[in-house]
Structure 1
Amino acid sequence: MPFLTRERDGAILTVTMDQPATRNALTGNTAVAEFVQLCEDVRADAGVKVLILTGAGPVFSSGGNVKDMRRFFDEALTPELIREEYRQGIQRIPLALQQLDVPVICAVNGPAIGAGLDLACMCDIRIASETATFAESFVRVGIVPGDGGAWLLPRAVGMARAAEMAFTGEAIDAREALACGLVSRVVAPDQLLPTARALAGKIAANPGAAMRMTKRLLREGQQTSLATLLELSAACQAVAHKTADHREAVTAFIEKRAPRFS
C-alpha cells in the first residue's frame, strides 16, 4: 500500500500519510520516495494552489521507526554508510519540500514525534487538533535530529524554546504549541480538516503565480540579506505585473467586481 494518499478538490490537494499501523513512521518504507515524487508532481502542475498534509489514524507521525533502528547495531553498517543513508533517505524530504513553491498547510491530527514534528515544521502553516502533541525526542533514543530539525525548529519557535524541546525530548501539548508559535490555530478534532480546507480555500482564491512567488520570497527571506531579497523581489514583481491575473485583479478592483482568475 502507498504511504501517501492524494485527494484533489479543484486547486486544493489533500495528502494523507496513510500507514496508521506504523503510526505513520517515515522510515523503513516508501515515505521518502513518495514525498519527493509528490513535490515533483505539484511543482509541475500549475493547477495546484494549496497542499494540505495530514495523517490517518490517531497519530500524525511517529517519525523514525525505532524498531527499524536496531539494524544500525550491525558492525557492517559503518558510520560512512549510515551518513550516506541519511543523505539519500530522509534528508531528501526537507530538501524537496523546501523547493516546493505551493503553500503547504499541515493539519496535525495527533502526536508529531521526532521527525514527525520536523515534518510539520517543513510546512508553511500548522493547524493542530486539540489531541495533538509535539516532541523533538531524538535525544531520548540517543540520536540527534538527522532530518534537519536543528534548522527547522528554531525557525518555528525560536532558539530558546527549540533548545528546551531538543535537550529534554519532552512533549508539549497543542495549547503550548499555540503559545510558542509552533501552530497558528488549535481546533476540535472534528474541525481540523474543515478548518484546513477553509483556509486552503481562501489561499486558492488568489492568483497562483503570485502565490508561488510570494512563498519563495518568504522562504528566501529566512536566509538571505535584505539587499538580495529586494533584488529578488523586484525580479518577481516584474514577472507578476505582466501576468493575466494581475491585469484581471486591477481591472476588477476598478470596476468594483469580483475578479475571475485564470
Structure 2
Amino acid sequence: MQLPVTNDALLTLENRVATLTLNRHDVRNALTGTGLIDDIVNVAEWINRCDDVSVLIITGAGSAFSAGGNIKDMAERGADFAGTVAEVEARYRRGIQRIPIALQQVEVPIIAAVNGPAIGAGFDLANMADVRIASTKAKYGETFLNLGIIPGDGGAWFMQRLIGYQQAFELTLTGRIVDAEESKKIGISLEVVEPEALMDRVSEMARQFAAQPPKAVRLTKRMMKMAQRMELKDFLDLCATFQGMCHNEPEHLDAVNRVIAMTQKR
C-alpha cells in the first residue's frame, strides 16, 4: 500500500516497521500551529488499513520530541487559542483531540522514541504510545497549569493509567519537569539510553515485535486495550473469540512448526 502524504512529518516503512518523525524542529515539533495533528491522525488511520505494518515508531527531529502547544501563539491569541468558549471547544474536538482518539485505535504496538523534551501535549503524545524509550536528553512536563490551562488533549486520562492517580496528580498540579532517569523510576519510560543509541534500541524492540505473527499481534494489542475497560467475565469471552480467530489463521500453524523445528535442532 502507498504511504500517505505527510506535510510536517516524515514517514518511512521498512520490514513492517513504520517510523513517523515529527519534522518541525523550527518550532520544537509543536503540535498546534503546524500540520502535525493531521499527519499523526492520517498515519494512524492508514496503519489500520495496511496489513504491511506491525509496529509504529514516533519520534522527533531536532532537539525536541514535541513542545506541545505553541506558546507564542498563545500569547498572541493566535487562531488555535482565541475565540468564545464554544469556538475553542469545537476547535479542540476538531483539532488536537483527534490525536488521542486516533492513536487509541491503532491496532499495532506504538513505541515513542523520546529524543528530547516532551512538554505539555508533547508529553501526552508520548503517553499515548504503548512503550516509551527515552534518550538521556529527554524531559517530560505536564505543564498546562503553569500556563493557566488544563490538559485539553486527554493527557489526564492517559497519564493516571500509566503511572497511577497519585503520581499523575502531583505531576499535573505542580507542572514540574521530570528528567529521563526519574521518568524511568516512576514508570513513564521503560528504558533510558544514550542519545546516539536511542534509535538503534527502539529499532531493535520494533523488530522483535514485528517478528511476531502479524494478525496475532494486532489482536493482542486490541485485547490489552480492551482489558482496561472490561469486566473479567466479558474479557474472557472476548479472549475465547480472539483465540478462535488465531487458531484458524495460517500464521498460527506456521509459528508452531517453527517452534517444533527449533526444538528439534537443540
Where in structure 2 are the equivalents of 1:103-114 lying within 5 Å? 103-114=109-120
Partner residue in 2 for 1:220: 226
Where in structure 2 are the equivalents of 1:161-240 lying within 5 Å? 161-240=167-246
Partner residue in 2 for 1:24: 29
One-letter identity of the residue aligned with 2:53: V
Q: Give the 3 Å change call, closer, same or farther, for CA 182–76 of structure 1 in structure 2.
A: closer
Q: Give the 3 Å change call, closer, same or farther, for CA 157–42 of structure 1 in structure 2.
A: same
Partner residue in 1 for 2:259: 253
Distance 1:75 1:147 in 2: 13
RMSD (Å), alpha carbons? 1.8
Partner residue in 2 for 1:160: 166
1:14 deviates by 1.0
Q: Give the 3 Å change call, closer, same or farther, for CA 254–120 of structure 1 in structure 2.
A: same
Bigger drift between 109-118 and 7-16 goes to 7-16
Asked if 1 retains the 8 angstrom alpha-carbon contact of 2:100 and 2:154, the reply is yes
Distance 1:96 1:200 in 2: 20
1:255 deviates by 3.3
One-letter identity of the residue aligned with 1:212: R
1:33 deviates by 1.3
Partner residue in 1 for 2:3: none
One-letter identity of the residue aligned with 2:192: V
Task: Describe the SS at the equivalent of 2:57.
Answer: strand
Runs of at least 5 residues in structure 1 that lack an aligned partner in the other structure? none
Q: Give the 3 Å change call, closer, same or farther, for CA 43–79 of structure 1 in structure 2.
A: same
Residue by residue, what CA displacement relative to the aligned partner does 1:171-211 show, whole Å, maximum 9, x if unpaired? 01000000011010000000000000000011111001000
Where in structure 2 are the equivalents of 1:75-86 lying within 5 Å? 77-86=83-92
Asked if 1 retains the 8 angstrom alpha-carbon contact of 2:82 and 2:88, the reply is no
Distance 1:233 1:75 in 2: 44
Partner residue in 2 for 1:10: 15
Task: Describe the SS at the equivalent of 1:256.
Answer: helix
1:254 deviates by 2.7
One-letter identity of the residue aligned with 1:231: D
Task: Describe the SS at the equivalent of 2:132.
Answer: strand
Q: Which aligned runs of 4 or more in structure 1 are off by greater than 4 angstroms?
A: 72-76
One-letter identity of the residue aligned with 2:137: T
Residue by residue, what CA displacement relative to the aligned partner does 1:13-41 show, whole Å, maximum 9, x if unpaired? 11100000000000112111111110111
Distance 1:227 1:170 in 2: 40
- Residue 54 (structure 2) aligned to one of 46, 49, 52: 49
One-letter identity of the residue aligned with 2:247: H
Q: Give the 3 Å change call, closer, same or farther, for CA 51–73 of structure 1 in structure 2.
A: closer
One-letter identity of the residue aligned with 1:19: R
Runs of at least 5 residues in structure 2 that lack an aligned partner in the other structure? 1-5
Q: Give the 3 Å change call, closer, same or farther, for CA 164–245 of structure 1 in structure 2.
A: same
One-letter identity of the residue aligned with 2:72: K
Bigger drift between 5-14 and 145-154 goes to 5-14
Where in structure 2 are the equivalents of 1:118-157 lying within 5 Å? 118-157=124-163
Bigger drift between 118-127 and 220-229 goes to 220-229
What TM-score comes out, normalization by structure 2 length?
Answer: 0.93
Residue by residue, what CA displacement relative to the aligned partner does 1:119-141 show, whole Å, maximum 9, x if unpaired? 00000000000010000000000
- Residue 37 (structure 1) aligned to one of 30, 33, 42: 42
The reply to whether residue 59 of structure 1 matches residue 64 of structure 2 is: yes
